[in-house]
Amino acid sequence: MTLCLSGVDQIHANGQAALQDLNLKIAPGERVAIIGPSGAGKTTLLRLLATGLKPSAGQLRLLDTDPWALSGRARQRLRARIGLIHQAPPLPPRQRVVTAVLAGRLGRQSLARSLLSLIYPLDRHGAREALGRLDLADKLFERCDQLSGGQLQRVGIARVLYQAPELILADEPVSAMDPVLADHTLGVLNREAARRGITLLASLHAVELALAHFPRVIGLRAGRVLFDCPSSDLGQAELAALYANEQLVDGALEIASGTARPVNLPRC
């Protein structure tokens, strides 16, 4: 298994319980979307899987190891096998796009080569090829602060494709793109993951994109798995239950009176 969680809880430092009794198995090469309302725990789950957070309880196995039984150095090596796609890629504003993409392999290179690559981009061909898959080859020598939010997200995806990890964890990877570009970009990411046998786990607010691109969908609500099924099996009732928002005053009144409208599925 690429990922295996059993009985995992995650409680943040302020006492907020973000994930509760999570049991999950994801096999190598699977492509899985995580959907759910705001605050459901999607980002917390991805941070946990990226070993940015240690589970408060339960067992996590990642790429056939227990990351928290490893030394700090071995965990660092494990992280180099995982590609992270952030909603807002943490790229230095003045950095050139080519350098940002080549940084995808920093964790797997010698220190000397990494430092040299930061000063003088060595593998320009590789960076151009990765950017070309996201239709951004012409931005190779632009500065990151000269790109739009959607372009920056695509640079973040190109960087992870260049990294060629075994597992990709993507947190809202297309949230800053228009619907057509978001659809196209998720298509590229999924095709590349499938072609290379990379396991892909992505959180998404756009349900229609999750269903269109990912064979398996996990619905997370209040830190628990509400459903975990093939996307072709997912029905309106499950989605309505996932996104029912009793906290909204109008919604609460409608739910209480049994006049709730059909749920409007979130779009990007």
Ligand X SMILES: Nc1ncnc2c1ncn2[C@@H]1O[C@H](COP(=O)(O)OP(=O)(O)OP(=O)(O)O)[C@@H](O)[C@H]1O
The verdict on 41 binding ligand X (CB under 6 A) reads yes
The number of beta carbons lying within 10 Å of the beta carbon of residue 71 is 8
Q: Contact with ligand X (CB under 6 A): which of 22, 26, 40, 84?
A: 40
Q: Does 175 bind ligand X (CB under 6 A)?
A: no
Residue 56 interacts with ligand X (CB under 6 A): yes or no? no
Instruction: State yes or no: residue 14 binds ligand X (CB under 6 A).
Output: yes
CB 217 within 8 A of CB 24: no
Establish if 242 lies at the interface with ligand X (CB under 6 A).
Answer: no
Which range in 40-48, 91-99, 133-141, 258-266 contacts ligand X by CB under 6 A?
40-48
Nearer to ligand X, 44 or 153 (CB): 44
Distance CA 167, CA 190 (A): 12
Q: Which is closer to ligand X, CB of 38 or CB of 259?
A: 38
Site for ligand X (CB under 6 A): which residue of 12, 77, 191, 196?
Answer: 12
The only residue of 31, 42, 213, 221 in contact with ligand X, by rule CB under 6 A: 42
Query: Per rule CB under 6 A, is residue 36 in the interface with ligand X?
Result: yes
Q: Which of 49, 56, 43 is nearest to 13 (CA)?
A: 56
- Minimum Å gap between C-beta 238 and ligand X is 17
Q: Which residue in 2, 44, 99, 190 binds ligand X (CB under 6 A)?
A: 44
Q: How many Cα neighbours within 13 Å face the side chain of 72?
A: 0
Report whether 154 contacts 100 (CB < 8 A). Answer: no
* Strand partners for 33: 202, 217
What distance separates the 2 farthest-apart alpha carbons in the chain? 67
Of 265, 188, 75, the residue nearest 202 (C-alpha): 188
Applying CB under 6 A, the residues found at the interface with ligand X are: 12, 14, 16, 18, 36, 38-44
